[in-house]
């Protein structure tokens, strides 16, 4: 006989006066672990928040906890974004603040955050070390929260959730920002707590899932529809067939220097901790690179040097666009030639700007719009709004959009000025498979016109086709540099020889 744990009847929820969930019904029985997948903006996060009691909804949600279980009788929700506060209770951080020594002195350490969480929930501290080790987080205990990358912040929230082992655990996009090994170890930990009695609801479009997931669903037109495991990778995610905006496709990007980036024995340290170690890297105009490495390998710090955000750039032998850093150029002269998106930039972006204001601000490298952009810039912005399917949200505030739509707006902001150097740090976090393919197709189109590209991504299947070279970091050092096109050509040649009939 089935035992309902979560029972939802006639659930209705509106987001900014727009219906998202309409008379939704869902029953989760004991021993069921669900994957909720599907298109961005369909209402998955809204449903998760309603179950966890952190979003207002109309209808009936009943949770039947197991009175015989030793696990906490609670629904614990891990959001995709983690909003932390400093020691004075402030949370209005800005993008470059993580490199400010004074800011690190006013934010809590990971160790303090975990100690507070453990005491609040009366947890066993002897269980913590194995979880930290499994997620590669042990060495970060003395880091401050503001120093963590987006992937490291995600891991911290996952550590808390797994340590708590609630009776119902909801994870919103749990794999975002995690490297391959961390994903595998996370799945192993989720399988462990599932065996101990925790029931899981995962919101994700990823293919690699814990083996305990045994139910699948999507939200369509406000209703929950159960599907099979095979259906979640169906035709719903076919690539949109839409041409690249003309002002991007027809404009050839030219560089004033044949050498965009040149690093010679670059080192970055925070006290005794070495984050980058003797980095040597040269990027020539028009090259397309993928930057890879495990969480904490130094990728974000390396990119902060290129974008002019890290103060230690001046203490290193580092050339950008043919000029040695510190030779007189301003940070704004650097930024006007770079288009950037990163999880951290999204984190700290002004949420009170409209979609239009956010995109057009890319011409000025500002967070929000503070002047009249003029006719031509408005036209180009409108073209990108249409390309990304954001027409109905043009005048909507960013903080009123679902996460995936916010991401699309910031992607449009990144490319609106058709920059000389495009830096895309895990650009497709929060997007569904259709949107990811759509965006990477746009990147391929842009890169035919001379744009230099640095793309950060963990998985080959989610990279644009134009990638030529790879640099791999490990523990702050360059582990390898590889010409991908040559590797592909060699592999194809070997395959042709093997298949040749004599």
470 pLDDT higher than 50:
yes
Domain 246-346+420-490 class?
alpha beta
Q: Which residues in the chain are classed under CATH 3.40.50.300?
A: 4-237, 246-346+420-490
| Confidence at residue 371, expressed as pLDDT on a 0 to 100 scale | 82
494 pLDDT higher than 50:
no
Q: Using 50, 70 and 90 to split pLDDT, how confident is the model at 82?
A: low
Summarize pLDDT for 202-256 with one digit per residue, the tens. Answer: 999 888 899 999 999 999 999 999 999 888 764 444 445 677 788 887 777 777 7
Q: Say if residues 160 and 119 touch (Cβ distance below 8 Å).
A: no
- For 249-268, the DSSP string reads HSPPP--S-SEEEEEEEEEE
Summarize pLDDT for 373-407 with one digit per residue, the tens. Answer: 899 999 999 999 998 889 999 999 988 888 788 88
- Average pLDDT, stretch 15-23? 83
Alpha helices in 135-222 (DSSP H): 150-164, 180-195
Kindly state the DSSP code that residue 365 receives in the 8-state scheme.
T
Q: Using 50, 70 and 90 to split pLDDT, how confident is the model at 94?
A: very low
Structure tokens at 359: 């995109």
| Confidence at residue 241, expressed as pLDDT on a 0 to 100 scale | 61
Summarize pLDDT for 323-342 with one digit per residue, the tens. Answer: 888 776 777 788 888 999 98
pTM of the model: 0.82
CA distance 93 to 90: 8
| Confidence at residue 235, expressed as pLDDT on a 0 to 100 scale | 41
Architecture of the CATH domain 4-237: 3-Layer(aba) Sandwich (3.40)
CA distance 284 to 255: 10
CA distance 192 to 208: 16
State what percent of residues in the chain have pLDDT above 90. 47
CB atoms within 10 A of CB 149: 23
Q: At what angle do helices 375-387 and 403-415 cross, to 10 degrees?
A: 140
Q: Using 50, 70 and 90 to split pLDDT, how confident is the model at 469?
A: very high
CB atoms within 10 A of CB 194: 20
């Amino acid at each position: 006989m089935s035992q309902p744990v979560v029972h939802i009847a006639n659930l209705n929820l509106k987001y900014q006066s727009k219906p998202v969930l309409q008379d939704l019904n869902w029953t989760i029985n004991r021993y069921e672990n669900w994957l909720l997948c599907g298109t961005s903006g369909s209402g998955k996060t809204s449903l998760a928040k309603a179950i966890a009691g952190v979003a207002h909804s109309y209808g009936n949600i009943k949770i039947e906890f197991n009175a015989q279980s030793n696990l906490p009788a609670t629904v614990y929700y891990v959001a995709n974004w983690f909003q932390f506060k400093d020691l004075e209770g402030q949370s209005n951080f800005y993008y470059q603040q993580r490199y400010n020594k004074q800011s690190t002195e006013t934010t809590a350490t990971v160790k303090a955050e975990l100690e507070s969480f453990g005491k609040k929930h009366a947890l066993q501290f002897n269980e913590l070390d194995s979880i930290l080790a499994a997620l590669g987080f042990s060495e970060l205990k003395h880091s401050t929260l503001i120093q963590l990358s987006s992937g490291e912040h995600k891991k911290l929230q996952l550590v808390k959730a797994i340590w708590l082992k609630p009776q119902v655990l909801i994870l919103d996009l749990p794999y975002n920002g995690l490297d391959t090994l961390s994903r595998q170890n996370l799945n192993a930990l989720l399988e462990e707590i599932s065996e101990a009695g925790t029931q899981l609801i995962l919101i994700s479009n990823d293919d690699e899932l814990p083996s305990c997931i045994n139910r699948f669903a999507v939200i369509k037109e406000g209703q929950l529809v159960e599907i099979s495991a095979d259906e979640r990778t169906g035709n719903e995610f076919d690539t949109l067939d839409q041409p690249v905006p003309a002002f991007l496709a027809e404009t050839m990007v030219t560089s004033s220097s044949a050498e965009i980036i040149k690093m010679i024995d670059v080192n970055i340290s925070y006290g005794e901790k070495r984050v980058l170690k003797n980095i040597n890297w040269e990027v020539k105009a028009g090259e397309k690179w993928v930057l890879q490495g495990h969480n904490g390998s130094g990728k974000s710090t390396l990119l902060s040097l290129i974008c002019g955000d890290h103060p230690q750039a001046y203490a290193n032998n580092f050339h950008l666009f043919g000029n040695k850093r510190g030779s007189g150029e301003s940070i704004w002269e650097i930024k006007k030639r770079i288009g950037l998106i990163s999880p951290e930039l999204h984190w700290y972006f002004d949420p009170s700007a409209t979609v239009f204001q956010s995109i057009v601000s890319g011409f000025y490298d500002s967070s929000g719009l503070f002047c009249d952009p003029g006719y031509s810039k408005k036209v180009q912005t409108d073209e990108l709004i249409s390309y990304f399917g954001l027409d109905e949200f043009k005048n909507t505030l960013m903080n009123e959009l679902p996460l995936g739509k916010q991401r699309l707006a910031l992607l449009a902001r990144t490319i609106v000025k058709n920059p000389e150097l495009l830096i895309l740090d895990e650009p497709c976090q929060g997007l569904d498979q259709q949107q990811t393919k759509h965006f990477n197709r746009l990147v391929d189109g842009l890169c035919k016109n001379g744009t230099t590209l640095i793309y950060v991504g963990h998985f080959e299947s989610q990279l644009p086709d134009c990638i030529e070279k790879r640099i791999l970091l490990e523990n702050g050092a360059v582990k390898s540099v590889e010409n991908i096109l040559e590797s592909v050509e060699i592999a194809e040649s070997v395959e042709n020889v093997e298949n040749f009939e004599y």
